[in-house]
Amino acid sequence: MVLASSDQLSKDGVPAPQPASPPKPPSFDQSDEIEPEAAPANPSPATPPTPLSHPEQQPDEIYTSFGSIPGTSHEKYTGKTYQFRRLVIWPALLKLEGFLLVTLVIYIISSYRGKSKNEHAVAHWLDLYSELLRKQFSRVGTRLARGYSEDGPALFYGYATGWKGCQALTIRFGLRARQDIPMMIYEEIRAAIDFNWTGRSNRLKLVCSLAPSNQQKSFEAKDSLVWALVGKCVMNVVCEDRWDVRTFTEVKESNQLPSRLVFMSESGEINEQLIKFFICLLHNNPSSLEWFDSLVLSGSSQQEPLILQLPLPLIPSARTLTLQLRLPPQSQNLDPMPLIKFCFNLIDSVDQAVSLKSLATSKLTKRRHQILNLLLEDERKLTEREKEEERRKRLKAAQDEKLAKMSPTE
């Protein structure tokens, strides 16, 4: 065996071995701490943990310790108990439910009795006035056997037709909503506080749709006249309910009328003509005026026309005579009889009683042109406001779109 020398190894490219340096002892800083030697492990085997001992508790006691069960009472019930098979009722714990049940029963009973009372009042009135209606009209009543129709528990309608001067008669009974106890209480309190307030319940309205006269095949411009005899206590209500009365008429008083009545007319000439018909009625039947509210003769629209209905026709398509009364108690139902007879007599003589001169007719036409121009002006302003609002919306949308496309630096 031949061993190579160190010179030969260095010549072959392998570095010569270096002498090893002696190990340095470790150096300790003041911050270093010497850990104590760990205690030797206990060679004894581990014992299993003993379970916690709890005293035996009943389910109710467990729930009590962590909080009571919602909706349960742990006190013993000592009140009355009603049981029907598996159904057990404890009245002492159902006070609120019992109050609500009693309230519901009272409401149902009052609603039924109130509606029955209203139906009885309508049937009684139609029975008393059926003879007068049948003298004037060939057909009285509706297709129903009872002779009237209902629209809820407080609104009823009667109907009659077959009179030459009157195309149809509609009788509207607006009675008190006796099923609505809160509303009844409100009306009583409001009437006791506000002496000028007049409710709309317990009202009788007779609407006569007039026909053109024998000499006319259709209505004329003069038939668009609006005239009314109104009680002062209901003047605000009439103006609120009827657009034609509050738009075309003016309030005019007369010495020949009672202090509680006023004229609302377009022409003072008509007042002088119609007052002659009222003198006998006013002086001979003062008790009937106690139930009188208003009498309106109109050939114009009762409701404010819509924009689509403009322009208004100068010649009316319909003409009505409306008598509104307060419905008296059943013992005094015949008191308004003279007013209803007067209304029927006025239908036959309305063309003779109301005769307008050419000057008055021209004033009516001029007045309606003015109202028409005002309505058209309001429509034009409304259209301009809508267009301006639409233009602003488009401009704002364009600005928002432009800002959305801009970069943060821009």
Read off the DSSP letter of residue 263.
Answer: E
Residue 261, burial from CB neighbour count under 10 angstroms (0-12, 13-18, 19+)? buried
In a domain, 40, yes or no: no
H-run or E-run covering 251: strand 250-252
* Residues in a beta bridge with 380: none
How many domains does one find in the chain? 1
* Residues in a beta bridge with 170: 159, 207
| Cα-Cα-Cα-Cα dihedral sign, residues 183, 186, 187, 188 | positive
In a domain, 23, yes or no: no
Task: Please give the Cα distance from 210 to 208 (Å, whole number).
Answer: 6
Span 94-106, mean pLDDT? Answer: 90
In a domain, 336, yes or no: yes
- Per-residue buried b or exposed e for 243-254, using 16+ beta carbons within 10 Å of the residue's own CB: ebbbbbbeeeee
Structure confidence by residue, pLDDT tens digits, 226-280: 889 999 888 988 998 898 898 888 898 888 888 888 989 887 777 877 887 777 7
| Cα-Cα-Cα-Cα dihedral sign, residues 71, 77, 80, 82 | positive
* 164 CA to centre of own chain: 41
Range of 44-48, 283-287, 385-389 with top mean pLDDT: 385-389
Other CB atoms within 10 A of residue 98 CB? 10
In a domain, 139, yes or no: yes
CA distances from 83 to 10, 80, 91 (A): 116, 10, 11
Q: For residue 274, what are the domain limits?
A: 99-363
Query: What is the pLDDT at residue 181?
Result: 80
In a domain, 46, yes or no: no
Cβ contacts of 345 within 8 Å, gap of 6 or more: 277
Contact 168/141 with Cβ under 8 angstroms? Answer: no
Other CB atoms within 10 A of residue 333 CB? 18
Span 203-217, mean pLDDT? Answer: 82
H-run or E-run covering 268: helix 268-284
What 3-state DSSP class applies to 275? Answer: helix
For the chain, give the percent of residues with pLDDT over 70. 78
- Mean pLDDT, all residues of the chain: 79
Position 201, amino acid: S
In a domain, 192, yes or no: yes
CA neighbor of 183 nearest in space, from 161, 208, 153, 227: 153
Position 57, amino acid: Q
In a domain, 86, yes or no: no
In a domain, 200, yes or no: yes
Q: Is the pTM of this model over 0.85?
A: no
Structure confidence by residue, pLDDT tens digits, 348-358: 888 776 766 66
Other CB atoms within 10 A of residue 157 CB? 14
Phi, psi (rounded to 5 degrees) for 127? -70, -40
Identify the weakest region by mean pLDDT among 119-133, 177-191, 212-226, 328-342. 212-226
